[in-house]
Chain A
Amino acid sequence: MAAVAGRTYPAVKIEIDAERVAAFANAIGADPDDGVPPTFAAVYSLGVTAPQLFGDEDAAVDFARLLHAEQEFEWQRHPRVGETVSSRGRVASDMSRRGMRFVTLETDTTDAAGAPVCRSRALFVIRA
């Protein structure tokens, strides 16, 4: 297993799809008429970059021992249905301590003009 702190993954574009947003709103009990629920970032931000980390052979993340420990989202603005955003993941830190591995994955989401939409910080804890 290699610590992959500093690794950046290729940006992924994703469309904010109306049906997907409605299904997500219903699943969390949000009003679908209120626009894109803030934590839809679980789909357009973390949702596209976490699989890149989990699929990275060098990172060798043991998915079966992984726990999503903390999550933070910061929004410059919330995306609109129909727009396309781009999310880029970066391993901000990757440290081991007493048999536990702590990986922080940051994701920056920007819009078609390159302006910031959302920043996500996910802390994953992988036990030995």
Chain B
Amino acid sequence: MTERRVTFTREQIAAYAEASGDVNPIHLDDDFARSVGLPGVIAHGMLQMGILATVAAEEAGGPKRLRRLSVRFAGMVVPGDTVAFTASRSVGERLELAAVNQKGEAVLTKSSADIS
């Protein structure tokens, strides 16, 4: 099994916003985020998926071996949250993946990868 723990920060979320082009203010502006009912800025689901992909890639023996990756974005991640991302071999060329926060809540569900 491969595991990576990430404690999310506003800086990383902002860096991902710039790098990915997803500059939705719910990721960058606390006041805006609260105005739409969020507790404050939240991490992009795609940032979480990106980190999960690095873990899957390591388990697979390199990112080129990733053939398929799918996730459901199940829970919010806010700055200060620590998420444990894990990948383990399932059957055949399938990896089982998980992302669980410090409260034991799964922030990504239905997550799996196929490798070659």
Contacts and interface: CB of A to CB of B under 8 A. Distances in A.
Given A27-B12, A73-B69, A78-B64, A38 B20 contact: no
A34 B12 CA distance: 20
Contacts of B4: 29
A75 B67 contact: yes
B47 interface: yes
A28 B57 CA distance: 13
B95 interface: no
Interface string A17-47: 0001001101111100011011100110001
B69 to A, nearest CB: 5
Interface stretch (A4-12, A62-70, A83-91, A101-109): A62-70
A73 B56 CA distance: 13
Contacts, number: 95
B51 interface: yes
B91 interface: no
Contacts of B66: 38, 75, 78
Nearest to A74: B68
A74 B68 CA distance: 4
B19 A27 contact: yes
B46 A70 contact: no
B19 A75 contact: no
Contact of A38 (B6, B12, B36, B63): B63
B18 A23 contact: yes
Given A38-B57, A39-B53, A70-B73, A26 B19 contact: yes
The 8 closest A-B pairs by CB, nearest first: A72-B70, A28-B50, A27-B19, A23-B19, A27-B16, A39-B50, A24-B19, A27-B15
Interface of B: 4, 6, 12, 15-16, 18-22, 24, 36, 45-47, 49-51, 53-54, 57, 62-64, 66-73, 110
12 contacts: A23-B15, A24-B20, A30-B50, A30-B53, A30-B63, A34-B57, A35-B63, A39-B46, A64-B36, A68-B45, A70-B70, A75-B68
